[in-house]
Structure 1
Amino acid sequence: MNFLVVTYAPTIKRKDQFFSYAPYVKEMDLWFAHAENIGIISPYYYKDEILEKNFKRNDIKRFWLPFFFSSTLLQKIRTVLLVPVIVFQLIKAFIWADHIHLRCPGNVGLIACFVQILFPWKTKTAKYAGNWDPKSPQPLSYRIQRKILSNTFLTRNMSVLVYGDWKHQTKNIKSFFTATYRDSDKEPISSRKLDGIVKFSFIGSLAVGKRPLLTIQIVEALFKKGHNVRLDVYGDGAMRNELEVYVTDNQLQEIIKLHGNVKGEFIKEVHKTSHFMLLPSKSEGWPKVVAEAMFWGSLPIVTKISCVPYMLDDGNRGILTDPNVENAVENIEKMLQSEEKYQIAVEKAIEWSRTYTLDKFEQEIKSLL
C-alpha cells in the first residue's frame, strides 16, 4: 500500500534521515508502521525553528509543496498565485497514493479538501486536530474544511477523525483520540490527601491562548482566602517576563514558581505529586496534558472548550470552569471541601484516561488502514 500524508508540517531531509515537528512525527511513526510504502507531501523547510524529531523510517518519498504564509496582503497574493502549483502537486501525489491521509485544519488541508473530491475511489482518512465543536467560533477556512469533510457527497470513502463525541454528525465522522503512554506504563497511584499543601501545576506554552496569568490569579485568590496552596508553572513563551513581574509585584514567590521548560519524564513526576492541573485555555483540540495528568492522578481544572467536557464527563472526572477567577475559585473550593468527592473524581479520571493508550491507538490505526 502507498500511504500518503498531506501536511503543512515541513519534511526536512538531512543526510539519510527525515525530520519534522516532534509530536507529529511520534504519531505518524505509528501510522507508517502499517504501510509498505510511505509518502509525504509538504514544504521542504520552515522559516522558524521547530521542535524537531526524526522519523523512524528513512524510505519516505517526498512530494514538494511551496512554503507559504497568508498573514499579510502580499503573502495572500503570493498564496493565490501559488494555488495552481499546489493543486498540481497534490494531484500528482494523490495519483501515486493508495490511501490519502489529510492533516487538518490548515492552509494545505483546505486546498487538499477540494482536491480529494476528484478522487472518490481512493480510500482516505483525515485527522482534524482542531476544535470540532459545531457551536464554537472558527476561522472561515476551518469552517470550510469542516463542511467539506462532513459532506458525504463531496467527500467519499473517507473516515474523518475528530476529538470528542458530537451529536448529529454524518456517518463518516469518527470520534478519535491521541495518546502518550502504553499499557505497560500503568502503575499504582499513591493517594494524595487534601489536608496539607494542595499542589497545583500548569504545563504548557506561556502564551495568551493558554491563559497562564489567569492560572496564577486563581491560585493567588485561593491563597488569599486562606487555602494552603502552591503552584508550579512549567513551560516557556512570550508571557514569561510578564508573569515573573506579576509574581514579584504581588509577592507570590513563596507559593508560585516558574520553572521554564523541563523534560517529559520530569513532567510525569509532577503529575504524580500534584493534586490538580490547571489549564484555562481559550481553545484546544485534544489537550494531551489533560489526559496525561488524569493518567497519573492529577485532577484537571479546565475551561469548557472543545472536547474537554467529554474528556471530563461533564465534571465527573475533573473541574470544568468559566474563564474567570470567581467561578474557578468557587468550583475548586467545592472540591476542596470534600475529600471523598475528590478521591472519587481522581479514580474516575485514572480509569478513563488509562483506556486511551498508545496500544489502543495503534489498534485503531490498523483498523482504519
Structure 2
Amino acid sequence: MKFTIITHAEHKLKQDYIYAYEPYVKEMNLWLKFVDEVEIVAPVSTKEISKIDTRYKCHSERSEGSVTKKAEMLNQVKHDGMVVALPCNDEIKCHSECNEESVNRNIRCKSINLNKIPSFNITSTKNSLNALFKIPSILWEIYKAMQGADHIHLRCPGNIGLLGCLVQVLFPSKPKTVKYAGNWDPKSKQPLSYKFQKWIVSNTFLSKNCKVLVYGNWPNQSKNIIPFFTASYSEKEIEEVEIKTLRHCGSNCHSVLDTESLESEQQISNRVGNDEFGRHSVLNTVSLGSDDEMLKQVQHDESERYTQLDKTARHPRLDLGSHELEQKKQISNRVGNDEKKNLDKSVTERSRSEIYGTLNPIKFLFVGGFTKGKQPLLSVKVVHELFKKSYKVTLEMYGDGLEKNYVENYIKEHNLEKIIKLHGNQPKGIVKEAYQQAHFLVFISKSEGWPKVVAEAMFWGCVPISSNVSCVSSMLGDGERGSIVNPAIEEIVEEITSYFKSPTVYQQKAKKAMDWSRTYTLEKFEREIGKLLKSFP
C-alpha cells in the first residue's frame, strides 16, 4: 500500500533522515507499520533539529515470502524537489542502504518520500497576496500525490489540510482517513477556515469513502465521523507509582494536613493555657496536627517565645509561664487592638517561616507552547496567588513561544525566580520526570483537541486543573479524575486549596486519573489504527 500524507507540519532533513514535531511523528510511525510505501506532502524547514523533534522510523516487518533482496533497498535519491529516504530498522543505523543484518532478519525496509511544498498563511494582507502565488503550485503537488496514492491521509485543521480537503473531492473512490486534531465540539468558537474543513470532511457526498477521526463523542454527527484518541506512553513504560500526598506540602499546616487528624480548637487552647487567647494566637492560625512531632515542637517553641518577649511600652510581656494569662480584654487595653494584631502577625510569620523551611513544596507543572491560546501566564499568576497566601509552592514550566517574554517579565517583576523555573523545550524523558514529581498540572488552554499533556500528567498520577474545552471534561470524568475550571484566578486558587483541605480526595482523583490514562497506550492506539485501515474495502 502506498500511503500519502498531506500535512502542514514542518519537516526537517538531517543525515538522510526526516524529522518533524515529536508527538506528530510518533503517531505517524504507528500508521507506517501497516503500509509499504509513504509519500509525505509537507513544508520543509531549514531550522536546526530541536529537542522536541524526532525522526520517522522504518518499522520492521516479517516478509511473508523469501528474504527481501538487497537490490530492493535503494540508496537515498534526490530529484525534482523530492527526497527519497530509506532509513533502516531502529536498531540498525545506516544511511545509504540497509545492511546485511537486516536482510538476514527478513526485514523489509519501506521508502519514505518527502515532497517539499512551501508553507503559507493569510494573517496579513502581504501574506495573503504571497499565498495567492503559492496555492496553485501546492494544489498541483497535492493532486499528483493523491493520484498515485492507494490511501490518502489528511492532517487537519491547517492551511495545507484545507487544500487537501478540496483536492480529495476529486478522488471519490480512493480510501481516505482524516485525522482532525483540533476541537470538534460543534458549539466551540473556531476560525472560519476550521469550520469549513469540518464541513467538507463530514459531508459524505463531498468526502466519499472517507473516515474522519475526531476527539470526543459528539451528538448529531454524520456516519463517517469516528470518535478516536491518541497516546503517548507504551505499556512497557507502565511502572508502579506511589500516589503523592499533600500532607507535608505547604507553609500553612492547616492547608496540607489530613483534616481528620487535626487537633480541635479546644485541644490547642488547652496546650497554651487559655481558650480565648488560643483562638487568636499563632497556634490556632497554624493548626498543628497531633500526629506530627516536628509540628508539635514548633508549637511548643512558639509558646516559649511568648514567655521571652521583652516588656516595652508598645509590646508588654505576655507571660505564658507559671503566671495566669491575661484575658483578651486586658491585652487589648494594654497594647491596643492594632498592636495585638501586629504582635500576632509577627509571631505567626516566624512560625510559618520555620515550617516553610522544613516541609516539602506543592509542585505545579505547565507543559505546552507559550502561546496566547495556552495561557501560560495564567498558570504563573495562579501559583503566585498561592504563594502570596503563604503556601509553599513551586512551578516548573516546559515549552517555548512568543508569550515567554511576558512570563519572564512577570516572574522578574514579582521576584518569583526561586519558585518558578522556565526550562524551555525538553526531551520526553525530562518532561516525564517532571510529571512524576508534580502534584498538579495547571493547563488552562482556550482550545484543544485531545490535550496530550493532560493525559500524560494523569498517566503519572499528576492531577490536572484544566479548562472545559473539547473532550477534556470527558477525559477527567466530569471532575472525577481532576478539576474543570473557568479561566479565573480566584476560582482556580479556590479549587486547588480545596484539595489541601481534603488530601484524601486528591489521592482518590490521582489514582482514578492514572488508572484511566493507562488504558490508552501506544499498543492500543496501534491496534485501533490497524483495525481502521483494514476496515476499508
Provide the TM-score with structure 2 as the length reference. 0.65
CA contact (8 A) 1:4 1:101 kept: yes
More displaced stretch, 289-298 vs 57-66: 57-66
Name the SS of the counterpart of 1:181 in structure 2.
coil
Whole-Å separation in 1 of the counterparts to 2:130 and 2:423: 41
Q: Greater CA deviation, 57-66 or 292-301?
A: 57-66
Alpha-carbon distance in structure 2 between the residues aligned to 1:223 and 1:16? 50
1:85 and 1:248 mapped to 2: Cα distance? 48
Which structure has the larger Rg? Answer: 2
Structure number with the bigger relative contact order (C-alpha 8 A, sep ≥ 6) is 1
CA distance in 1, matches of 2:444, 2:158: 24
CA separation in 1, counterparts of 2:40 and 2:422?
39
Q: 1:126 maps to which residue?
A: 178
TM-score by length of 1: 0.93
| Counterparts in 2 of 1:220 and 1:170: CA distance versus 1, 3 Å | same
Q: Cα offset for 1:108?
A: 1.3
* 2:23 counterpart residue number: 23
Gaps of 5+ in 2: 59-85, 87-110, 250-361
Equivalent in the alignment of 2:371? 207
Q: Using the alignment, how far apart are the partners of 1:13 and 1:268 within structure 2? A: 27
Match for 1:268: what amino acid?
K
The residue identity in structure 2 corresponding to 1:90 is I
**How many residue pairs align between the two structures?**
368
CA RMSD of aligned residues (A): 2.0
Counterpart in the other structure of 1:156: 208
**Structure 2 letter corresponding to 1:103:** R
Determine if contact 1:162/1:174 at 8 Å carries over to the other structure.
yes
1:196–1:228 Cα contact (<8 Å) kept:
no
Task: Name the counterpart of 1:55.
Answer: 56
**Alignment partner of 1:209: what SS?**
coil
Q: Is the 8 A contact 1:21 1:50 kept in 2?
A: no
Letter in 2 for 1:46: S
Partner of 1:40: 40
Read off the aligned partner of 2:57 and give its amino acid letter. K
Question: For the structure 1 residues 322 and 175, does the alpha-carbon distance in structure 2 shift closer, same or farther, using more than 3 Å as the test?
Answer: same
Q: 151-160 or 62-71: which moved more?
A: 62-71
Give distance in 1, aligned partners of 2:400 and 2:117: 31
Aligned-residue sequence identity (percent) comes to 48
Select 1:290's aligned residue among 433, 444, 454.
454
Give the gaps of 5 or more residues in structure 1: none
Q: 1:349 aligns with which of 513, 516, 521?
A: 513
User: Which structure has the highest strand share of the two?
Assistant: 1
CA distance 1:15–1:223, change in 2 (3 Å): closer
CA deviation after TM superposition for structure 1 residue 204, in Å: 2.2
1:79 counterpart = 2:131: yes
1:340 matched to 2:504? The reply is yes
Kept in 1, the 8 Å contact 2:243–2:510? The answer is: no
Show the 5 A alignment for 1:60-209: 60-197=112-249, 198-209=362-373
2:5 is aligned with what amino acid? V
Q: How far did 1:107 drift? A: 1.1
1:336 is displaced (CA, Å) by 2.2
Counterpart Cα distance in 2 of 1:207 and 1:125: 29
8 Å CA contact 1:321–1:327 kept in 2: the answer is yes
Residue 196 of structure 1: how far off its partner (Å)? 1.4
Q: Distance in 1 between matches of 2:372 and 2:12?
A: 30
Deviation at 1:6, TM superposition (A): 0.8
Match of 1:237, SS state, is coil
Partner residue, 1:225: 389
Q: Deviations over 1:93-148 (max 9, x none)?
A: 11211110001111111111121112111111001111111111111111100001
Question: Once the 2 structures are TM-superposed, how far is the Cα of residue 181 of structure 1 from its aligned partner?
Answer: 0.6
